[in-house]
C-alpha cells in the first residue's frame, strides 16, 4: 500500500498518508482478521474509518464490508481513495483516469510485479517462506535463511524475464506447519542474488515506484560484488555513492552510461537494502553543478598504488 500511494501521488482528489493504526479515514483489511473486526466496530461507533476488505484469489468476499480484489489495480485503488472522500469534482475524472491508466501500465507492464512481491516478502516482520510461481518456474523465497530454492537454475536472464512479466505471477505465503522442500532437492541461490538481478536487469524502464524521481541517492555500504558480479563502471560509481549523494542525471554524466543502466543499478541496490536518498525540489537538479565523467584508472605512481592494484586484480575488482 505504501508503494501504491507513492505511485498515485498527485493523481487523486486529495493527498493520502499511510499509517499503521486504526485512526484513519480508510482501512484496507484482510477478511476475517482481528484488524477488520476492530475497524468495523470502531466505524460503527465513530463513523470512520471506512473498511474495505482485500480479497485474494480463491477467497470468498465477506458480506458485511465492501471488497476489492487482489492484485489491486491502480485505477481501482484511485477510485477507492476518491470514493472515501465522498463527492469528487467531475472535472477531475478524465484526468485521473488517464493518469491511472499510465500508472497502471508502469506498474504492471514494465517489470515491477516481481519487485513488488520480493519487497513485500523481505519487509514482513514474520519472515516466513513464500512460494513464487510463474508458468513452469517456482521459487521458494526463504528470508529467514536469506536463500531461495528454485526448480531450475536462476540465471540472470531467467530472473530478468520473470521481473519483466506483466502478469501470471502468483505469490503464496506458506503456513508455519507447511512442509518445505529440502535444500538438496532444488537449485539454491542467495536471496541477495535474486534481488540484485531482479533490479539490475528486470526493472530498467523506470525507477521502482517507491523511489523518488527527484532525489540525491547514495549507498549505505558496498554491494557484495564478489558474489553478485560487477562491471567496472558499477564499482567506480559505488566508490563515489558511498561518500556523497548524486542525482540520476549526474550519475549518467559521471559514468557515461545509458540512463537505463543507472536505473537498473539503483533499483538493484534498493531491493538489496543498500540505497538511501534525499528528496529534492522539482527544480533542484538544474541548480546542481555539472559533474565530469570518471577518468580511467591511471598508472601506479608509488609502491602503494602497485600493491592496491595487485589486490584489485586478485579480487577481480574492475573486470568487465
Mean pLDDT per 10-residue section of the chain, whose length is 320 residues: 79 80 79 76 76 81 77 82 63 43 44 84 86 92 93 91 84 85 83 94 84 89 90 93 92 91 94 88 44 41 53 54
Output the pLDDT for position 190.
Answer: 94
Q: What is residue 93's predicted lDDT score, i.e. its pLDDT?
A: 43
The dihedrals phi and psi of 148, each to the nearest 5 degrees, come to -130, 145
| pLDDT tens column, 8-43 | 877 887 888 887 666 688 888 887 777 777 777 777
Going from N- to C-terminal start, the domains of the chain cover: 2-109, 113-200, 208-314
pLDDT per position as a tens digit, 158-168? 999 898 887 78
Nearest to 100 by CA among 67, 77, 68: 77
- CATH topology (fold) of 208-314: Arc Repressor Mutant, subunit A (1.10.10)
Query: Burial letters for 225-241: b for 16+ Cβ neighbours within 10 Å, e otherwise?
Result: beebbbbebbbbbbebb
CATH code reported for the domain at 2-109 = 3.40.50
pLDDT of 64? 67
At residue 114, the 3 state secondary structure works out as helix
Closest Cα to residue 103, out of 229, 203, 213, 6? Answer: 6
Which residues share a beta bridge with 67? 53
Ranges of beta strands (E only) in the chain are 26-29, 50-55, 66-69, 130-134, 137-142, 147-150, 170-173, 187-190, 215-219, 275-279
Residues 151/137, Cβ–Cβ less than 8 Å: yes
Note the pLDDT of residue 236.
93
C-alpha angle 69/268/136, rounded to 5°? 55
Fold match, 2-109 / 208-314: no
Contact 110, 119 (CB under 8 A): no
What local confidence, expressed as pLDDT, does residue 311 receive? 57
Amino acid at each position: 500500500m505504501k508503494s501504491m500511494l507513492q505511485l498515485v501521488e498527485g493523481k487523486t482528489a486529495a493527498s493520502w498518508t499511510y499509517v499503521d493504526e486504526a485512526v484513519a479515514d480508510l482501512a484496507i483489511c484482510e477478511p476475517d482478521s482481528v484488524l477488520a473486526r476492530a475497524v468495523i466496530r470502531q466505524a460503527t461507533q465513530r463513523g470512520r474509518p471506512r473498511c474495505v476488505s482485500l480479497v485474494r484469489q480463491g477467497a470468498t468476499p465477506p458480506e458485511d464490508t465492501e471488497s476489492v480484489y487482489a492484485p489491486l489495480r491502480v485505477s481501482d485503488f484511485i477510485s477507492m481513495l476518491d470514493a472515501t472522500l465522498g463527492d469528487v469534482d467531475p472535472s477531475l475524472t478524465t484526468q485521473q483516469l488517464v493518469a491511472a491508466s499510465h500508472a497502471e501500465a508502469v506498474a504492471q507492464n514494465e517489470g515491477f510485479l516481481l519487485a513488488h512481491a520480493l519487497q513485500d516478502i523481505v519487509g514482513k516482520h514474520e519472515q516466513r517462506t513464500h512460494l513464487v510461481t510463474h508458468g513452469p518456474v517456482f521459487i521458494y523465497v526463504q528470508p529467514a535463511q536469506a536463500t531461495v530454492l528454485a526448480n531450475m537454475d536462476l540465471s540472470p536472464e531467467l530472473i530478468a524475464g520473470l521481473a519483466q512479466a506483466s502478469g501470471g505471477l502468483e505469490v503464496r505465503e506458506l503456513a508455519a506447519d507447511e512442509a518445505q522442500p529440502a535444500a538438496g532437492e532444488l537449485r539454491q541461490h542467495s536471496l541477495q542474488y535474486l534481488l540484485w538481478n531482479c533490479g539490475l536487469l528486470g526493472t530498467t524502464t523506470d525507477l521502482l515506484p517507491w523511489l523518488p524521481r527527484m532525489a540525491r541517492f547514495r549507498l549505505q555500504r558496498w554491494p557484495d560484488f564478489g558474489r553478485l558480479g560487477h562491471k567496472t563502471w558499477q564499482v567506480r560509481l559505488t566508490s563515489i555513492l558511498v561518500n556523497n549523494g548524486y542525482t540520476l542525471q549526474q550519475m549518467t554524466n559521471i559514468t557515461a552510461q545509458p540512463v537505463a543502466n543507472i536505473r537498473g543499478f539503483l533499483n538493484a541496490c534498493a531491493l538489496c537494502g543498500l540505497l538511501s536518498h534525499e528528496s529534492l525540489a522539482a527544480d533542484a537538479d538544474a541548480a546542481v553543478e555539472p559533474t565530469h565523467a570518471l577518468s580511467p584508472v591511471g598508472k601506479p605512481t608509488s609502491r602503494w598504488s602497485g600493491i592496491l592494484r595487485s589486490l584489485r586484480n586478485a579480487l577481480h575488482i574492475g573486470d568487465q
